[in-house]
Structure 1
Amino acid sequence: MQKENNLIVNSDQTNLLKELTSSLETCTRFYFSVAFVNFSGLQLLLDALKEAKLRGVEGKVLTSTYLNFTEPKALDKLREFENVDLKVFVTERNIGFHTKAYIFEYEDYFKVMIGSSNITQTALKSNVEWNVEIISKHDTTFIQQVISEFHGLWNRSTIVDDFFLQDYKQFFENINRVASSKSLIYEKAEYIVPNSMQKRAMENLERLRTLGEKKALVIAATGTGKTYMSAFDVKNLKPRKLLFIVHREEILSKAKETYEKLLPNRKIKFGMLTGTRKDFDADYIFATIQTLSRYYQQFDPEEFDYIIYDEAHHATADTYQHVIDYFDPNFMLGMTATPERGDSQSIFEIFDFNVALEVRLHDALDDDIVVPFHYFGITDIDEIDLSDVSVDNLDEITKRLKVNERVDFIIEKMRFYGHDGKTRKCLGFCASKEHARYMAAEFNKRGVHSTYLTGDDSVPVRQACIRELEDETNELEVIFTVDIFNEGVDIPSVNTVLMLRPTNSPIVFIQQLGRGLRKYEDKSFLTVLDFIGNHTKTFLIAIALNGSRYYDKESLKVAISTGFAHLPGATHIQMDKVSQERILAQIDQEKFTSMKYLKEEYFEFKKMNSGRVPDLLMDYYKYYGAPDPVKFIKKEKSYLNFVAKVEKDQQIKQLLANETFEKALKWLSSMLPLKRIYDFVMLNYLLENQSITFNEAKLEILKWIKTVDDVSVDHAMEYLNQNFFDDTQKKRTPKLANLNGERLSKSLTFDELLRNPPYRRYIKDVIEYGMFRYEREFGKEYYGVPHLKLYEQYQMMDAALLSNYRKSHSAFRGSGLLTNGNDYFLYIDLHKEADIKESINYNDKIIDRNHFQWETPNKTSQGTEQGKNIIFNQDRGVNLHLFVRKYREIEKNNVEPYIYIGKGNTISYKNERPIEVQMELENTLPQQLYTELTKKV
C-alpha cells in the first residue's frame, strides 16, 4: 500500500481511463462524484463496470445537471447496472457543481483521484488534465473528510428514477434545440478557418507555384475537408475564372455551396454545368465531367485560371483526358482520397508528380479532422469455428456464420455498448451477399429495422437506402453490405460499424472503418464492434489498427499489450482477453519474412488490385494499409524478380534475362526505401532529358524539399558517377550516368535501357515509387548533413551516403562505431542475443527517456583521441549519433534495421577498454518508442 502521491495526466504513456479501469478491476467498492457524464466517456468504462458487477463490487455515482452537460443517455445506461446507485445533484441558479473525484475502497486503504476530469472521452484520454492520486489508510483524517463530504453531497441529491429521467430528457432536448439554432453563427465565412491539414496543403501549393509548377495533387482521407481546402486556396489566389469538375452530380451543389459560403461579397457569379443547367457565362463554374466532356470546346483553352478535379483518381479515364489535354490553366489541382492507378496512365504523372499533401487515417486522427473511434474487439461465440476454413471459401464461411445464436449475441453487444447520438445509424460488413441477406432478415425478426445492399443493387436503389438511413425520422437502423461500401461512399451520420466477417486484409479493414469517421453535427465518436473468431488470419486486425508502415512481431505485440496507446486523441482500442491472447499467439507463430507469408500477402493484395497482377511498386502506393513491397524486394533483390517467381510469369522472366536490365533494377531497388531523395530526383530528370546541370538538379530537388545544401547535391552527382563504388560494386552495377564538371549525363547503357518500353516502365516505376514514398515518410523538411530524421529506420551503411562520405561506402560497416569527420555513428543492440527470450545486456541500455548508457568498442581507452572525442564530445565539437535496435534478429536470418534516436552528449564516464559512457539525449524519447524498445512481451 505504501505509495507516493501520483499526478495522472493524459499522455502517450498513460491516461485517466487506464487508472480508472485498473482500479475498478481491483477495488471492493467505488464512489464517483463528477460534474458531467456523457456517453462518449461512459462507453469506455462499460466493460470495467460490467467486470465489477460480476465480482459483486458495488458503487455510487453522483453527477449533476450543472450547465445541462450531463447526457440523459449516459444516465439511462448507468441505471442498467444493478450494482451502481445513481444520483444527480440538481444545480440551482447560484450554485455550481464542479467536483471531479474518483474514490476506490480496498480492504485496508482508499485510493482517491481528485482533479479536473469529468467522464467524457476527451477528459479520460486526450485533454490536458491534472488529476492527483492519493492512497491512504481508512482512518486518516483526509479519507474521513473525503468520505464525509461525498455522503453529504449524496444525501442532498436526487435519485435518478423514471420520472426524473423523463423530465430531464425533455428539458435536455429542448435546450439542445435552442442551442443548435444559436450555433449557426459559426457558419459565417469570417468564422471558418483552415484546419491543420488545409493549412499544410495551402503552404505546399504556394511553394510549388513559386517554383513555377502548374499542377499538384492532394491526397487526403474522406472527411478531412478537401473541398474547403481548395476553396481556401482559391480565396487566397483570387483567380478571375475557375472551373471545378466532379465525377458525381450529387456532390456538385455541395461544392458550390462551400465556395459561396467562403467567398461572399466578391462579386463572383457562381454557376453550374450539368444536364439541367448550362451557366456558360459564370465566373466560377461547377461542372460534371459527363456534361463538360460534351461542351468543353465552347470555352477558350486558356479561359480558366484555376481548374480543380475532385475525385481525381478518375482522371486517367478518356473523358477526363480530353478535357485535361484541351485546357491550359495557370494552375491545375487534383484531389482524391485514393490515388488509384488507371490501366493506361499514372494519376501522379497527370499532375507532374507534385503531391502537395498526403493525409492518411492516423494523420487525420492526430489532426482532429475526423471523429475518434471506440473499437471493441469481442471474442465470437464458441459455436463459430473458422479455424480450418480457407479465407477464399466464402460459401463455407457464410454457412458457418449463419447461426441464430450469433445474431442474438451481436444485438446484445450492440445494446450493451450503445452508440453516439439519438438514433443508431449502422453499417454491417458481411462475408458474402447471402450473409448480408441473412443478417438483415434476422435483425428484422428481432425488431431491429434493417436492410442489405450488394453490388447487384442499382445506384438509385443504393442512394434511396442511404437517404433512409440518414433520415432521423426513418426507422432504418442498419444496412448490411458486402464490398460496395469499402470506399467512395460518404454517409457522414454513420455512428456504428459492425465487422461481421473474418478480416483477411488490413486495407479492407481500414476502408470499412473509415466509412464512419466523417465529422457530422453532434457526432463525437464512432462505435466499432469487431466480432473476432478463431480464423487463422485474425492477427491482421492488429496490423490494420497499428497503422505503422514498419512492423515486426515485437512492435505488434507491444501495441496489443498497451492497447495501441500510440493512437492519437480520444480514439480507444479495447480487445477482450481471449481475443488478445489469440492474436498474440498467432503473431508468435507467424513468420513474417518467410516466402509462404509473403506470397499470401501478395496474393491478398492482388485481389485488392481487381485481380490484376500488381507488377508495379506504385500499385502499392494507392492503398492505405497496403503491404510494404520492400519486403518482397529484400526476398528476391527486386520486386519484379519476386513477381516473376510467385506468378511463374515467363514473359517477366524473359525481361529479366537481360543481365544489364536486371542488375540496374536490383541496384535501384537496393536503395529503397530512400533515405535521401537527391539521387532519384536526378535519375527521374534523366528519364526525359539527356543531361542535368548542378543548377537544374538543385531546382528539381527543391520541388520536393524546402532547401538543400550544395555539398549534398555535389555528393549525389558523384555517387551516381560511381565515385564511391569499390571494384565489386562497379562489376555488379551498370553505370547509369557520367559526370563531367557540373553536368551529369545519361550513360549509353541507361539510354539503351530506356529505349526499350518494358525496361523503361519498370525502371521508371522504381524511381517514381522511391520518390513518392520518400515524400510520404520524410515530407518537405530539410534534415541537414548528416541527413538524418529522428526515429526513422536506418541500416549501418546509410550513414556513409547521408553524411556525404567521400570514400568507398562499402567500407562503412563492421563495428558498432563508425566515423566521418566530427560525426560519430553509434550502432547499438539493446539485446545482445538473437533469442529474444534472453535477458538484456545491461552495459548498453536506455536508462530513461532522456539518458542512455553505452560501452565503447573494447580497444578504446580514455587517453586515445577517439576516447577523448567521445568523453569530451561537446567541448571537441563531436556529434554522437545514436542508432538502436531491440534485437539484431527477430526472425532467423533477417537482420533488423536501427532506429535513429538523435544525438547524445556525454555527462559521465568510467572504466577502460571499454569506456562506459552515460549520455544525455538531446531529444526525449517518445513514449511509444521507449515502450517498444524496453517492454518485454
Structure 2
Amino acid sequence: MNNEDIKKNLLLAATVGFLDDSQPGATSELLPQLVSNQPHDTMWEHIRYELQTCQSFSFALAFITEDALTPLKVVLADLAVKGVSGRVLTSNYLAFNQPKVFEELLKIPNITVKIATQAGFHAKGYLFEHTDYHSMIIGSSNLTRAALLRNVEWNLHFSAFKDGAVTKQIVNQLEVEWQRAVKLTDQWIEEYRHTYNSTQQRRTTLNSVNQTSNNELAVVPNKMQREALIELAKLRAANEQRGLVISATGTGKTFLAAFDVQQVKPNKMLFVVHREQILQKSMVSFKRVLGGKDSDYGILSGNRNERQAKYLFATLQTLSKDGVLNSFAPDQFDYLLIDEAHRSGSETYRRILDYFTPAFCLGMTATPERTDDFSIYQLFDYNIAYEIRLQDALEEQMLTPFHYVGLQDYEYNGKLIDDKSPLRLLVAKERVDYVLKQLEYYGYSGKRVHGLIFCSNVLEAREIALLLTRKRHPAISLDGSDSISRRNQVVAQLEKGQIEYIVTVDIFNEGIDIPCLNQVVMLRNTQSSIVFIQQLGRGLRKYPGKEFLTIIDFIGNYKNNYLIPTALTGDITRSKDNARLELALQPIMGLSTINFTEVARQRIYDAIQVAKLDAFATLRADYQELKQKLGRIPLLMDFQRYGGVDAEVFAENNQLDSYASFLSKMKEPINLSEYEEKVLSFVTKELLNGMRKHELLLLKLLLEKKCVTGKDFARTLHQNNCYINAAVMQSVDDILSLSFFDIKSGRENKAEKYGSNPIVEHFEGKYKLNSMVSDSLQGESDFRNLFVDVITTGLYKTDNFRADQAFTYYQKYSRKDVCRLLNWSKDVSAPMYGYRVGKDTCPIFITYEKDNPEKNRSARYENEFFNTGLIKWYTRSPRHIDSKEVQQLLERDHNGNFKVQIQLFLKKSDAEGKKFYYLGKAQAVLDSVREQLINQDNKRPKAVVSMNLKLDEPIKYSHFINITKK
C-alpha cells in the first residue's frame, strides 16, 4: 500500500475500531483489536505476524522467560537474513528474570538489549515500525510462554501514523527509558547473578517453612486417567479378563494402574517389571494412591523376598524362575499388572502369563508396535482399553512442553544434505560448526545441556561424537553393537553432566528413560511418523529444573520431509491440504510450539507437493499393522478409532470404488455381486464423510426395520438435533433415489455408476430399501458387514459437523458437497466454477491466490481480504451492474434484507485440491459495488462487477494470516 492507501485504511480502522463497527473496515493489521489468547488467536501469533512484516521493532518488557525465547529466536533468525533488527528493553525488577535469560538474549545477533534502571519498571509493550506507520501491542502480556499462549491476557493491538499523538507519546517514552537504561553485557550479568542467587535463596528458605511436602499431597486422577478408568471398568463389566493401556512415556501409567487397583480392590495384586530399579519407585507411587500399612507392600527380587505382601512388586527375572513361580498358587493374585507390556512376547513373560489365572490382567506400554511377528494385542485379547496420544497428553500438561525448531541443514558447495549424501559431507568440519552454532543459539532449559542426537548411520554417529568432543562438547556415540550395561553407563554419565551429548542412530527410539534430557537433535531423515514421535518423545518426561524441551531438526533435501507436520500434530487424514495448513499455521499444542524457518518450511512444502500421501503401498502397510493389532480383518470404523489413517482416505482414493475394492486388492475373500459393489460405492463415496446425518440416520433405521414412516424418521432427526424442513427432506429423497446424480457427463449418466435404481423408495409417507438392497442385507454377508460399517463410520464422523445447520465453519467442502447440502435437486457442480446464483442462496468459491497468474484466465481478479471480516470479490465476465445475476445478489425485500443469501467458501490456492473452507454467510456492502474493466490474457478488457463482502462472523486470526501471507 502507498501512503495514501495507508492513511485511508488507518482512518477506516479508527472508525471501525472506536466509532462504528458496521462500517467497512481497513486491513486487519491496522484494525484495533483485543488480544486475549483465544484458540487460534494468541498473543504469540500476533507478535509473530508483526515481526514477519515490520522493518524494525522495539520491545519494552519487565519480565522475560527462557521458554518464550526459543520460538522468538526462529523468527528473529529469518529477520537477520533480511537485515531486520530490533531493540529489547527489560528489567531486573523483583529479580524475576533469570541470569540465563539475559545470556540467551545476548546470543541473538539482530537485537540490542538494555536494562531499565528505573525502579519498578513494569512495562509490557511491543512496537513494530513499518514504512509510514507503527503497530503496537500494549497490555498485560510479558514475554513469557504462558502469557503468549494460554493465560487470559488483555492486550490492545492497534496501528497509527508516526505523527499521531499516541504514537509520539509511546515512542518518546520508550526513547527516554532507552537512553537512561544500561546496555546488557557479560559483566552486568555476572553482577546480577549474585543479586539473583541471594534473592532466590531467601525465597527458597521462606517456601521451605510454609510449604507442605509433596509426599503429603493427595493424588487424584487427571482427566485422561479418569477416562481410562471408565474404559477399564467397562471391560471387566463385559467379563473380559485382559486389557491393554497404551500411554505415552511420562503420562502417568503407574498412577493409572494404582487408581485401577483402587477401584477393583483386589485381595492380592502382583506387579511385574523387567528392571529392579523401577520396583521401589512404583511401590511408592502405589502407596500414595492406596495408602494402608507399610506391611501391605512388598518386593520380590534377587535381594528381597516379601511374598506375603498384599501388593507384591516383582522383577521378571526372579519371578520367572521355576522354583519361585511354582511356589505361588495360580489363582493367588486377583489382579496382575504387566509393565512395559510390549516385552511380554518373550518366553519369560509368557511363562508368567500362562501360569497365573487372575480375575484381571492389565498390560501397560508406550510402544505396542513390534518388529517381529508376535502380536501384543493378541496376548491381551485385542482389548485396547485406552490410548493416551502424545498430542492429548501435551494439552493436558502431563508432559514437559516442547519447542520444535525446524531449520535447514548445512549446504555444502551449494548442495543441501540429502538421503544420498556421502559420509565426508555428513561429518565435514563446516557442517559440525554449523550444527554447534545452531545448538548454542537455540539452547536448552536448565543449567547444563543433556542432549540426545540422532544420526543417519553408525559411522556418522561415531565421527560426530568425536568432533563434538574435540570442540569441548563431550559426547559419546552408542549403537546396536553396544551392550545394555554400556548404554546404562553412558546414560549415567549424561545424567551426571560428565558428557553433554549421546549420539546414536535408532537404539534410543524406545525403552529408555532419561528424564533429564532437555535437547533432542535430529541430524537424519524422518523415516516414519512413529519413529519421529518416539525420538522426540525421549525428552518429554518431566524433570526438576526442566521447564521445556528443545527439539532441533536439521531439515535436508529429504523426500520424507512431508511427514514432519503431520507427525507433530498427530494428523491421520493423509491429506495434503491438512499437511500444508499445519505447516503454514505452525500450530500450538498446549504450551508447546512448532516453528520452522522460512527456508525449512519451503523444503517441507516442496516435499508435500510431490508426495503421494495416500499411496496404495502406504495404505497396505497401515492395513497390515491394524490387522495385527485387532487380530481380524479391520473395518473402516477400526481405522477411524485405532488406525494410522482416517477412514475417509479410502473413500477419496480414485483408484478404489469402496473399501471392498481395497480388501480385494489385499487378497481378502470378499464375495459381492456387481450391484452390491455399486451400492457400497455410493454409500462410501457420498455418505461416509459424515457431512450430513440425515441420510445416514434413515439408512440406519432401515437396517433395523423394513419400513420407516415419515414420523419415525422426523422423530429420529429431532432426537439427533438435526435441522428439518421440506427442502432438506426432499434433498434426502433426491440423494437416496440417486436423482441428484442423474446428469449426463460425456456419454455416461453419473447415476449409473451407483446402479441407477433408487437405494431408498419413498411413497405414501413411508421409506423402504429397494428389494435388491433389502435382500442383500438379509443374514450375515460381506455386503451387510461392509454396508453397516460405512453407516456406522459415517455417523461417527458426523461429530465433526454441526447437525443443526447445513455447513460447519472451517470444514472443507467440494462444489458437489455444497450442491447437496444446499438441497439442490441436481449436482450442478461441473459448470459452477466461481459461483452460482440460486433462488435464495448463492455459494461463492474463492481461490485466493492464482498458482500461475501469467496464464490463469482470472489473473486480474485480485481477491483481497481487507480484514478478518471483509473481502473484495469479483463476478465473472462480462457482467454489468444491471446484469440479472448481479441484481439478484443486490435485491432486498421490504425489510431491507437481501433476498439471496451468500455462502462463502475459500481456499488459498489450487494446490490445496478441490475442496474449500467454509467461512460463513456474507452480505454485499452496497456502497462498494463497482463496475470495472478487467484485462485477461492480453485480450480486450471485459466488464466485471466488484463488491466487498462482509462476513457474518470474522474468520480466525490464524486462518486470516495463513490466507493472506505471501
Aligned to 1:70: 97
The answer as to whether partners of 1:632 and 1:642 remain within 8 angstroms in 2 is no
Measure, in 1, the Cα distance between the counterparts of 2:134 and 2:964: 30
Residue 413 of structure 1 is matched in structure 2 by 438
Q: SS of the residue aligned with 1:636?
A: coil
1:420 partner SS: coil
The 3 A distance-change label for structure 1 pair 800 and 435 is same
Whether the 8 Å contact between 1:871 and 1:909 is mirrored in structure 2 is: no
* 1:581 partner amino acid: Q
Q: C-alpha separation between the residues in 1 aligned to 2:478 and 2:591?
A: 32
Farther-moved stretch of structure 1 (34-43 vs 346-355): 346-355
- Aligned partner of 2:47 in structure 1 is 19
Q: Is 2:159 the partner of 1:136?
A: no
User: How many angstroms apart in 1 are the aligned matches of 2:316 and 2:894?
Assistant: 63
d(CA) in 1 for partners of 2:489, 2:859: 61
Which residue of structure 1 aligns with residue 547 of structure 2? 524
Q: 2:490 matched to 1:465? A: yes
Equivalences for residues 53-68 of structure 1 within 5 A: 61-68=88-95
Distance of aligned partners of 1:350 and 1:207 in 2 relative to their CA distance in 1, 3 Å threshold: closer
Query: Taking structure 2 as the reference length, what is the TM-score of the superposition?
Result: 0.68
What CA distance in whole angstroms lies between the structure 1 residues aligned with 2:237 and 2:47?
51
> How does 1:669-818 map onto structure 2 within 5 Å?
670=685, 672=688, 784=803, 791-793=810-812
Which stretch of the first structure deviates more once superposed, 667-676 or 613-622? 613-622
Mapped contact 2:468–2:475 kept (Cα < 8 A): yes
Q: Which residue of 2 aligns with 1:630?
A: 650
2:251 partner letter: T
CA distance in 1, matches of 2:592, 2:171: 34
Residue in structure 1 matching 2:122, options 77, 84, 98: 98
**Secondary structure in 1 aligned to 2:147?**
helix
The CA distance in 2 between the partners of 1:324 and 1:801, in whole Å, is 60
Moved more, 120-129 or 415-424: 120-129
Which digits, 9 at most, give the CA deviation of each residue in 1:572-622, with x for residues without a partner? Answer: 33333333334444445x2647xxx82575588799999999995768976
Q: More displaced, 627-636 or 31-40?
A: 627-636
Which amino acid in 2 is paired with 1:78?
L
Deviation at 1:709, TM superposition (A): 7.8
Q: Does 1:896 align with 2:919?
A: no
1:706-736 CA-partner distances (Å, limit 9, x unpaired): x858999xx9xxx9xx986789588599999
Among 427, 432, 441, the alignment partner of 1:402 is 427
2:175 alignment partner in structure 1? 147
Q: Does the 8 Å CA contact 1:348/1:354 hold for their aligned counterparts?
A: no
Residues 59 and 521 (structure 1), Cα distance of their counterparts in 2 relative to 1, 3 Å cut: same
Q: Which runs of 5+ in 2 are unaligned?
A: 11-29, 740-750, 761-765, 930-944
Q: How does 1:42-441 map to 2 (within 5 A)?
A: 42-46=69-73, 61-80=88-107, 88=115, 96-102=120-126, 114-127=138-151, 128-130=153-155, 136-137=162-163, 140=168, 143-152=171-180, 154=182, 160-161=187-188, 163-165=190-192, 167-168=194-195, 170-171=197-198, 174=201, 178=205, 185=212, 187-188=214-215, 190=217, 192-198=219-225, 201=228, 219-229=246-256, 231=258, 237=263, 239-241=265-267, 243=269, 248-249=274-275, 251-264=278-291, 269-271=296-298, 277=305, 279=307, 281-282=309-310, 284-285=311-312, 291=319, 298-299=330-331, 303-304=334-335, 319=350, 326-329=357-360, 336-338=365-367, 340=369, 347=377, 358-383=387-412, 391=419, 398=423, 400-441=425-466
Partners of 1:144 and 1:809 in 2: CA distance: 65
Contact 1:375 1:574 in 2 (8 A): yes
**Hey, what's the Cα distance between the residues in 2 that align with 1:119 and 1:676?**
44
CA contact (8 A) 2:454 2:523 kept: yes
TM-score for both structures, normalised by structure 1:
0.70
* Aligned amino acid, residue 319 of structure 1: R
Secondary structure, in 3 states, of the residue corresponding to 1:70?
Answer: coil
What corresponds to 2:744 in structure 1? Answer: none
CA offsets 1:126-164 (integer angstroms, 9 cap, x no match): 432525556634994554344224434559x99943651
* CA–CA separation in structure 1 for the residues paired with 2:640 and 2:615: 14
8 Å Cα contact 2:901-2:922 kept in structure 1 = yes
CA distance 1:567–1:709, change in 2 (3 Å) = closer
Separation in 2 of the partners of 1:855 and 1:541? 37
How far, CA to CA, are the matches of 2:332 and 2:825 in structure 1?
A: 57
- Residue aligning to 1:829: 845
The one of 500, 505, 515 equivalent to 2:538 is 515
8 Å CA contact retained: 1:101, 1:114: yes
Report the CA distance between 1:419 and its aligned residue.
0.9
Which residue number corresponds to residue 474 of structure 2? 449
Q: Give the secondary-structure state (helix, strand or coil) at the position aligned to 2:407.
A: strand
Match of residue 580 from structure 1? 601
Segments of 5+ residues of structure 1 without an aligned counterpart are none
CA distance in 2 between partners of 1:848 and 1:56 (Å): 28
Report the alpha carbon displacement of residue 485 of structure 1 after superposing the two structures with TM: 2.6
Q: Whole-Å Cα distance in 1 between the matches of residues 355 and 758 of structure 2? A: 38
User: Is residue 567 of structure 1 aligned with residue 585 of structure 2?
Assistant: no
Change (3 A) 1:398 1:196: farther
In the alignment, the residues of structure 2 paired with residue 220 and residue 692 of structure 1 have an alpha-carbon distance, to the nearest angstrom, of 44
Q: Tell me the CA shift for residue 117 of structure 1.
A: 2.9
CA RMSD of aligned residues (A): 6.7
Alpha-carbon deviation of 1:491? 2.7
Aligned residue runs from structure 1 range 785-934, under 5 A: 791-793=810-812, 828-831=844-847, 884=905, 886=907, 890=911, 896-897=914-915, 899=917, 925-929=955-959, 934=963
Percent identity, aligned pairs only, is 26
- Residues 410 and 417, structure 2, Cα contact 8 Å, conserved in 1: no
Distance 1:886 1:799, change over 3 A: closer
Q: CA deviation at 1:116?
A: 2.5
Matched residue of 1:519: which SS? Answer: coil
Whichever residue aligns with residue 439 of structure 1, its letter is I
Distance 1:641 1:774 in 2: 22
Aligned letter for 1:368?
Q
Q: Distance in 2 between matches of 1:41 and 1:498?
A: 19
- Taking a change above 3 Å as real, the CA distance of residues 553 and 73 of structure 1, as seen in their structure-2 partners, is same
SS in 2 for 1:498: strand
- Distance of aligned partners of 1:796 and 1:145 in 2 relative to their CA distance in 1, 3 Å threshold: closer
Task: Determine if contact 2:301/2:315 at 8 Å carries over to the other structure.
Answer: yes
Count of paired positions: 877
Q: One-letter code of the match for 1:405?
A: E
> Distance between the aligned counterparts of 2:134 and 2:927, measured in 1?
45
Q: Distance in 2 between matches of 1:86 and 1:855?
A: 48
C-alpha distance in 1 between matches for 2:309 and 2:408: 61
Indicate conservation of the 8 Å contact 2:453/2:503, yes or no.
yes
Kept in 1: contact 2:65–2:143 (CA 8 A): yes
**Contact kept? 1:313, 1:339, Cα under 8 Å:** yes
Q: Distance in 2 between matches of 1:82 and 1:223?
A: 36
